[in-house]
Amino acid sequence: MKTKTWCKAPLVEVIWHDAAGETGWESLHSAQQADIIVCTTLGYLIKKDRRRVVIASSIREDITRVEHTTTIPRTWVVKITPLAEVVA
């Protein structure tokens, strides 16, 4: 069941791939077995274009300020799922 949000920015779930790495010595075999990380981010979708998706975890009611943003390269995004309908 979808809920409703007052904000013009839709509330979404973004599933995306992230890079992974090690900072210390490791075996060649271990390094060859490394994989990407699958992440899930929830928040307000404040920007989506060909290059990026920008999510904010908090947004003011007057929509002039946002907090805790995550900018994800569009090519890393697997899926964007709306979680709430926007109320006009």
Q: For position 67, what pLDDT does the model report? A: 95
DSSP 3-state assignment of 32?
helix
- Rounded CA separation 77/18 (Å): 9
Domain that holds residue 27: 3-86
**CB atoms near residue 42 (< 10 Å):** 12
The pLDDT of residue 87 is 62
- Decide if 86 contacts 30 (C-beta within 8 A): no
pLDDT reported for residue 6: 56
- What does residue 28 show for φ and ψ, rounded to 5 degrees? -60, -40
Give the model's pLDDT for residue 69. 97
Q: How many distinct structural domains can be found in the chain?
A: 1
The Cα–Cα gap between 80 and 23 comes to 31
Q: Which helix (H) or strand (E) holds 45?
A: strand 37-48
Provide block-wise average pLDDT over 10 residues at a time, the chain (88 residues). Answer: 65 96 92 94 95 94 89 98 76
The answer to whether the pTM exceeds 0.95 is no
Q: Give me the pLDDT at residue 3, please.
A: 56
